[in-house]
Amino acid sequence: MIPNQGLSDTHVSLLYRAISEHKEKPGPLMPTLQDAQKIFGCVPLNVQKIIAKELNESVAKINGVVTFYSQFSLTPKGKNTISVCLGTACYVKGAQGVLDAFEDELGIKNGETTKDGEYTLEATRCIGACGLAPVFCVNDTVCGRANVQKAKSTLRYVKEHDVVE
């Protein structure tokens, strides 16, 4: 067993339970990582080491998967994730200004989380809504035909109602 290294015993127990559920099935890595992301809010190196040992995989392989797929994070994400598409169609229609507006309003930079843990801001590449460019997402809600004012008003609404309209 690997030392918990600052992880709660409850969370580590949940991780071991998830690993044992997936271990004997084909392709246990992705569902185990998805469960780890849910349990810890991220998949830091100490969690990757536990998974690697238990699944008899290298830490390098685990880390490669975690850093390749955007669904996984090495650091905790906020309660709400705001993603601004910077794919070509969105970028040429002003997405950088939308990202800048969110940075100003939240007081954080791309890839950061607010100190209160409420918001994570991230730039993404094409999300497949080019016809609505520029686009941003708040959690799973896509907001198209975005501009600076729409970004600010959406954020204001989310802060007041804790949901996206």
Contact call for residues 19 and 54 (beta carbons, < 8 A): yes
Contact call for residues 49 and 59 (beta carbons, < 8 A): yes
pLDDT digits (tens, 9 = 90+) for 34-93: 999 999 989 999 999 999 999 999 999 999 999 998 789 998 889 999 999 999 999 999
CATH label, 80-161, candidates 3.40.50.1360, 3.40.50.1370, 3.30.70.270, 3.40.30.10: 3.40.30.10
Domain ranges across the chain: 9-68, 80-161
Question: CB count, 10 Å around CB of 19?
Answer: 19
Rounded alpha-carbon distances, angstroms, from residue 79 to 21, 27, 138: 27, 29, 11
Q: Measured between alpha carbons, how far is 100 from 33 in angstroms, rounded to an integer?
A: 32
Q: Measured between alpha carbons, how far is 43 from 29 in angstroms, rounded to an integer?
A: 13
